[in-house]
Amino acid sequence: MLKYIFKRILLFIPSLFIISLFVFCLSNFVGGNIYEDIPDDQFRTEHIQRRAAKYNYDKPNFYLSFTAAAYPDTLYLVLEKDKRNTLKQLIAQYGNWSVISSYKQAVEAFIFKVHPDNIVDHFIDSSSLDAQIELYQNLTQLPILYEDEDISGRLENIQKYCTNYPKLDSFVKQEKENLLASYQKIKTESTTNKLYVPSLRWNGTRNRYHHWVTNLLGLNDQLGFKNTFPFINWQPDFGYSLITGKSVNKTISDALFWTLILNISAIFLAYIIAIPLGIFSAVKNKSRLDKVLTILVFILYSLPAFWIAILLISFFTTTEYCSWCDIFPSSTSFGDLLSDPSTSWWHYIPKFILPIICLVYPSLAIISRQMRGGMFEVLQQDYIKTARAKGLSERKVIGKHALRNGVFPIITLLAGIFPAAVAGSVVIERIFGIPGMGRLLLLSIDGEDWPIVYIILMLASVLTMVGILLADILYALVDPRVSFK
Amino acid sequence: MFFSRKKEDQLLHTLGAQGENYWQKLRQRFRKNKLALWSTRLLFLFIFIAVFADFIANEKPIYYQKDGVHHFPILGDYATALGLAESKKYIDWRELKADVIVRAPIPYSHNSIDQGNSYLAPAGNQKVSSKRYWHWLGTHSLGRDVAAGMIRGTRVALIIGILSMGIATILGLFFGSLAGYLGDDRLKVSRIRLILNIMAFPFAVFYAFVTRSYLLSQANSFYTQLLISLLIFIAIIFAVNIIATALKRVPFLGKKVTIALDLLIMRLIEIVNSIPGLLLILAFIAIVPKPSLINIMVFIGLIRWTSIARFIRAELLRIRNLEYMEAAQALGFSDWRIILKHAIPNALTPVLITIAFGIASAILIEAILSFLGIGTSADNVTWGYLVSEARESTTYWWLAIIPGFAIFITVTLFNLIGEGLMTALDSKQID
């Protein structure tokens, strides 16, 4: 028994590792330039560095990297994704990083020299000024170009401006020559053979994945949030929102609060209703009532919850269709309640009636069917016959003897409760405007706030795994017949 | 739905005794179940609607005759799509004047815009030229016809359901038969082959993809370059295996090791199962730049294959030690032939049940996604999208009722078919 549990937990750890890797990889695919809104002024580089450090973008991705020897191990320090990709493409073509990096510096120096903020206008007339701006615009394209054709075209333009405006030419002469020479050098001194030499590098623990996971586990207490989860001694750092720039710990724990309230009450209600239903159908097996119940829960199961939600809102929250139809409160003003300091907890109750209905009814079928199956099997057993034969009341036979064994199958459903409690109500929350995890997830997807999206995915996955693990262990504990192989 | 782990196990046990007329009996059992039978018949109607959707709801006429020339605009569209004909210039089909016109039963396409008739109820104040152009199921945004949207939605829902489960079935069959047939003990390879393959894999990826990254990034020759990359990859793995065959003779290197393939695949299934499906699809969709129904289909397929794989695996584990398998082996049949011709047909019924339930849930997921407006664009009218339009106002009762009811009916159909198959398979009933 202990061995089984131990083995089960041991298998849990590599799965967890793989899931975290998977979610991390997914999060790496999402695009978007997170530095887009930073103004192009003299502090830009500094700002970019600060933001990159905040989101851990100034680190390599993983413990190991396996690339060609031509790629430098410090490429991740080029923070902007499009510029980094350009450099990668240049290396993939020519393979000589040292020359490419001096070309990059030449471009940067040139851009700096003709930057509109650095105009030294005392020797440039107005027409040269326009030329300088044209020149600058051409230059700013260079860091994101890698095709020889495109770069050469830009370089030709630059030369053209310089020859047309001798004053400008003399002003930027050195930078221009540097740039042209370094680009020539890239082409003449290419070392493509380096592209065929693989190299495996160890990046150490200062990498994005390591930070992400340890923050999630609460091992790096850099924020000093002690009270995110008051009852458990777990201080995770979920990272920062890309939109507000604030820590998402508070956002997630707030959302979790509402989702937990919603789902736990729904799950609780579902069990309270479905278990007696299941027992009833099992006892009255093949009776008319059993058949009606079976069909009823089947229909309930097949009714899409989001449709029922829409129907309930359309027909039972307004007086549009009949005068007594507004039996449920309208669901639109959850935000007002939250912002109003005078609201007490009972003001929220009416808001939860409809969502809970929509969450409860689909799960009735699953739970009651499971319960019915389990009970039905137990009622066929010999010991139930014995119990009846010795004259126990039907109530005692069912309530005391059968129920205890018949409830086993419900345990397998336990695995589903954990993820459902966190992410089981995405659509319902969206429809009823409940500020829970599901709504947060959808809002974050819409707003491209990726750190939140992937943290929620990770949390839900981990909880599902924990649920499956617990269900397996519990099942083994309560039912000694389960084989431990 | 009613697949607990226990029920699954039960089903797998019932697969034992299968005589020659097993399929016949199963068919009889299934036909006795009136509800399932009628569901199947109704499903054929839905498939008919899906296949001929273009001829049922279309703003273009099916046929018209003008100046003595016969025209078939809808068929012409198919020819254009297949590249057999050039695309025609724009014609305002509503105003078309011709000698003979045969229009589709619903003279609107799902995206035909009817300005001034937005959000009108079936019995509402519709401004149409004649009863022929009446919007019988009302209109939604931009005056688009709901009936036409429903017809189009039928096609989308069935395509999504069937193709995504098709992908899932292929994956499930592949992984399930690998895990079940080879189990934890049958895949034996020599040490040297294992080591060389593990070591060669990163190098194959490196030489096939990393060093060719620039060539692969060229958009105009992407598929050619990808093909070359794959060939390089296969060549490296192949070369390594030839070396391994040569080195196998060395006693130490040639020693066989057993790979617990079943364990590995079961771990994979556990991992896939432990990521909540809807969340995973949402996260997947987030990384694809362009929304499309094909993506949704692939993603649903990628998460739904696990239960099919479990069935196939369990069935193969059960029968691989039976006598007829040994006989087949003794007759010199290859492993794959045994799997395909003997093992998989036996496991097919529970797989069919899973597919039926799976199609129901795939249709539901697609409806939810288009209801949320994620992964599909707004001009792609589907049932879920139509339901979402009902959120604009509580007065749009026809948008709240009609498309949702279609989703409900379709999902129920597939669930009933699955149920019918399940009862037909129940061992207590099959002798």
pLDDT one-digit tens code per residue, B13-60: 555 444 456 677 778 888 888 888 899 999 999 999 999 988 888 888
pLDDT in the model for residue B429? 45
Backbone angles phi, psi at B186, to 5 degrees: -95, -20
pLDDT band at A8 (very low <50, low <70, confident <90, very high): confident
Q: Which residues from chain B sit within 8 angstroms of residue A465, using beta carbons? A: 270, 274
Handedness of CA A77, A79, A83, A84 (dihedral sign): positive
A56: left (phi over 0), alpha (psi -120 to 50) or beta: left
Closest of B269, B264, B253 to residue B304, by C-alpha: B269
Query: For A86-95, A464-473, B84-93, B182-191, which range has the lowest pLDDT when averaged over its residues?
Result: B84-93
E-assigned strands of B40-179? Answer: 61-66, 69-71, 100-103
Is the pLDDT at B6 greater than 70? The verdict is no
Contacts 24+ apart (CB under 8 A), B212-219: B213/A88, B213/A89, B213/A92, B214/A89, B214/A92, B214/A93, B217/A89, B217/A92
Q: Which residues from chain B sit within 8 angstroms of residue A301, using beta carbons? A: 1, 415
User: Residue A205 burial by CB count (10 A; 0-12/13-18/19+): exposed, middle or buried?
Assistant: exposed
In contact, B237 and B163? CB cutoff 8 Å: no
Identify the residue with better confidence: A153 or B86.
A153
Closest of A405, A347, A409 to residue A378, by C-alpha: A405
Contact A442 B372 (CB under 8 A): yes
Tens-digit pLDDT profile for residues A63-105: 888 888 888 888 888 888 888 888 988 998 888 888 999 999 9
pLDDT in the model for residue B233? 94
Buried b (16+ CB within 10 A) or exposed e, B316-344: bbbbbeeeebeebeeeeeeeeebbeebbb
Task: Determine the distance from the C-alpha atom of residue B194 to the mean position of all C-alpha atoms in its chain, rounded to a whole number.
Answer: 35
Residue of B nearest to A19 (CA): B271
Cα A135 to Cα A152, A172, B231, distances in angstroms: 14, 10, 45
- According to DSSP, the β-strands at B69-71 and B61-66 are antiparallel
pLDDT in the model for residue B294? 86
Contact B287 A29 (CB under 8 A): yes
Q: A108 by DSSP, 3-state: which? A: helix
Kindly give the residue spans of alpha helices, DSSP state H, lying in B92-221.
146-182, 191-205, 213-217
Buried b (16+ CB within 10 A) or exposed e, B299-309: bbbbbbbbbbb
Contact A464 B273 (CB under 8 A): yes
Identify the residue with better confidence: A483 or A480.
A480
pLDDT in the model for residue A133? 80
Closest of A167, A205, A211, A175 to residue A53, by C-alpha: A211
Is the pLDDT at B384 greater than 80? The verdict is yes
Q: To the nearest whole angstrom, how far is the Cα of B295 from the nearest Cα of chain A?
A: 15
**Mean pLDDT for chain B overall:** 83
CA distance B317 to B311: 10
CA distance B16 to B30: 19
Contact A11 B274 (CB under 8 A): no
Is the pLDDT at B89 greater than 80? The verdict is no
Q: Which residues from chain A sit within 8 angstroms of residue B371, using beta carbons? A: 306, 427
User: Residue B34 burial by CB count (10 A; 0-12/13-18/19+): exposed, middle or buried?
Assistant: exposed
CA distance B399 to B388: 8
In contact, B74 and B58? CB cutoff 8 Å: yes
Q: Which residues from chain B sit within 8 angstroms of residue A365, using beta carbons? A: 1
pLDDT band at B241 (very low <50, low <70, confident <90, very high): very high
Which two structure tokens, joined as six digits, stand for A381? 């057993």
Query: For A153-162, A380-389, B117-126, B152-161, which range has the lowest pLDDT when averaged over its residues?
Result: B117-126
Closest of A134, A150, A130 to residue A142, by C-alpha: A150
pLDDT band at B150 (very low <50, low <70, confident <90, very high): very high
Residue limits of CATH 1.10.3720.10 in chain A: 248-478
Q: Which residues from chain B sit within 8 angstroms of residue A13, using beta carbons? A: none
Closest of B2, B6, B15 to residue B350, by C-alpha: B15
Average the pLDDT over B327-336 and give the result.
Answer: 74
Tell me whether B119 touches chain A (CB under 8 Å).
no
Kindly give the residue spans of alpha helices, DSSP state H, lying in A148-207.
148-164, 166-188
pLDDT in the model for residue B12? 52
In contact, A67 and B192? CB cutoff 8 Å: no
pLDDT band at A480 (very low <50, low <70, confident <90, very high): low
CA distance A90 to B298: 34
Tens-digit pLDDT profile for residues A276-292: 888 888 888 888 888 88
Q: To the nearest whole angstrom, how far is the Cα of A163 from the nearest Cα of chain B?
A: 34
Helix, strand, coil tally for chain B in percent (to 5) = 65, 5, 30
CA distance B283 to A449: 12
pLDDT in the model for residue B431? 42
pLDDT in the model for residue B201? 92
CA distance A250 to A259: 14
DSSP state, B341?
A: I
pLDDT in the model for residue A366? 84
Task: Determine the distance from the C-alpha atom of residue A476 to the mean position of all C-alpha atoms in its chain, rounded to a whole number.
Answer: 33
Domain A248-478, CATH 1.10.3720.10 — does that match? yes
pLDDT in the model for residue B430? 43
Q: To the nearest whole angstrom, how far is the Cα of A38 from the nearest Cα of chain B?
A: 23
- Preferred mutation among A90, A93, A306, A448 to probe B, highest tally of B CBs within 10 A: A306
Tens-digit pLDDT profile for residues A424-454: 788 898 888 888 888 899 999 888 888 888 8
Closest of B257, B229, B231, B232 to residue B244, by C-alpha: B257
pLDDT in the model for residue A21? 92
Contact A310 B271 (CB under 8 A): no
Contact A301 B1 (CB under 8 A): yes
pLDDT in the model for residue B17? 46
Which two structure tokens, joined as six digits, stand for A95? 């393979």
pLDDT in the model for residue A230? 52
pLDDT in the model for residue B360? 92
CA distance B419 to A298: 10
- Preferred mutation among A19, A310, A429 to probe B, highest tally of B CBs within 10 A: A310
Query: For A48-62, A176-190, A319-333, B148-162, which range has the lowest pLDDT when averaged over its residues?
Result: A319-333
Tens-digit pLDDT profile for residues B271-325: 898 888 888 888 888 777 777 888 889 999 999 899 899 888 887 887 777 777 7
Q: A427 by DSSP, 3-state: which? A: helix
Q: Which among A317, A445, A464 has CB closest to B374?
A: A445
